[in-house]
Structure 1
Amino acid sequence: MQREIQECLAILKQGGIILYPTDTVWGIGCDATNPEAVKKIFQLKQRDDSKALICLVADDRMLKKYVKHVPEVAKDMFDIPEQPITIIYDHPQNLAQNLIAEDNTIAIRIPDDDFCFQLLRRFNGAIVSTSANISGFPTPKSYKEISEDILKGVDYVVNLHHDKIMAKPSSIIKLESDGKVKVIRP
């Protein structure tokens, strides 16, 4: 696993994009602060750049680097073990501008996965995590279902968990500024 992390770090630091297993599905990732790398992901996925992407961070300390105010209710949700939860936060900061949604929000998840955690800690920053599919096509449930276009379009493919059937994508919730919680994807 350490060799895979080293390979990913080298690619991420050069502005490249990686294909990696997350706590939910296979993801396409890059340095979340690099607008050129983010642009490569939008192009690879053939995705409209007005649709926001998800970021992963290692822990709540790292989260504070990218969100001006983390609501207390979010901290309670970090410990829900049943299902991975991506939270949409207001007022992101220190991220590539083309990663931030038009309404000035960002979707961030703290993954419960050893590989992701170690990669994020060693990278010491947020990494984009978007499903490994062309926009409009189904999310692959295993490495074997990832399209050839995606495999050829990334700079590095992590050589772990190629035989594992991945879980479904995370739930997505938005924390409204008035304290309300809105479910975007159950």
Structure 2
Amino acid sequence: MQRAFVDREDLNKALETLKNGGLILYPTDTIWGIGCDATNQAAVEKIFALKGRDKSKSLIVLLHNDNQIASYVQTVPEVAYELIEYAEKPLTIVYSNAKNLAENAIAEDGSIGIRIVRHPFCEQLLQRFRKPIISTSANISGDASPKSFDDISAQLIHGVDYVVAYGQHEKSDGKSSTVMKIDPSGKFEFLRK
């Protein structure tokens, strides 16, 4: 699929919003998401409030490179790198013992879901931001996930601080990522295929 050019101004506005603790509405390698600085507790709180999401439900974070995982997880089993390398579609891996993230971004059991994103806008944003970004589907909790920008409710669009222009006219297959849980020993299981 032909990808649109990433506009520098669009990227800069999203970056500034994240740095200032704001929320962005942005396209990812799966579906449109709501994002914020994953190390900023107040920003993460705003996401729960906007979505009406139960705080016991865990969130995921996006990184642009698997070398960064060890900065946010106590132990990264070697098999995780192989799973990421050979994954044919977007893969979120839930790791035990998260660290260096906002407390309210980490699940009650201490785990965190991390996806290495392969998407032109997200990759550039993450490279420049140099921190993980929360990614949660752009819907009110309980509603269907949006297959395209046109499916996102006005309530969410007006509830964020910046709406990314990139990808608004593209249609996606509307599929969420595969989710696997991996323990420090390297044992893993599928949570969502």
Q: TM-score per shorter chain, which class?
A: over 0.9
TM-aligned CA deviation for residue 81 of structure 1: 4.5
Residue 169 of structure 2: aligned partner: 163
Residue 190 of structure 2: aligned partner: 183
Give the match's secondary structure for 1:78: helix
Inter-partner Cα distance in structure 1 for 2:92 and 2:49: 23
Contact 2:37 2:133 in 1 (8 A): yes
Counterparts of 1:33-182 in structure 2 under 5 Å?
33-167=39-173, 168-182=175-189
Residue 12 of structure 1: aligned partner: 18
Counting aligned pairs with the same residue, the percent is: 50
Unaligned segments of structure 2, at least 5 residues: 1-6
RMSD, aligned α-carbons: 1.0
TM-aligned CA deviation for residue 62 of structure 1: 1.8
Give the match's secondary structure for 1:79: helix
TM-aligned CA deviation for residue 179 of structure 1: 2.6
Q: List structure 1 runs of 4+ shifted beyond 6 angstroms.
A: none
Of 22, 25, 30, 1:24 maps to 30
Inter-partner Cα distance in structure 1 for 2:164 and 2:119: 14
* More off after superposition, 103-112 vs 57-66: 57-66
TM-aligned CA deviation for residue 63 of structure 1: 1.6
Inter-partner Cα distance in structure 2 for 1:88 and 1:81: 15
Give the match's secondary structure for 1:137: coil
Cα shift readout 1:132-181 (whole Å, capped 9, x = no counterpart): 00000000000000011110100000001111112311011000234321
Inter-partner Cα distance in structure 2 for 1:63 and 1:114: 20
The one-letter amino acid paired with 1:101 is A
Residue 3 of structure 2: aligned partner: none
Inter-partner Cα distance in structure 1 for 2:47 and 2:127: 22
* More off after superposition, 51-60 vs 61-70: 61-70
Give the match's secondary structure for 2:136: strand
Cα shift readout 1:10-62 (whole Å, capped 9, x = no counterpart): 10111000000001000100000000000000000100011011100110222
The normalised TM-score by structure 2 is 0.94
The one-letter amino acid paired with 2:189 is K
Inter-partner Cα distance in structure 2 for 1:61 and 1:156: 29
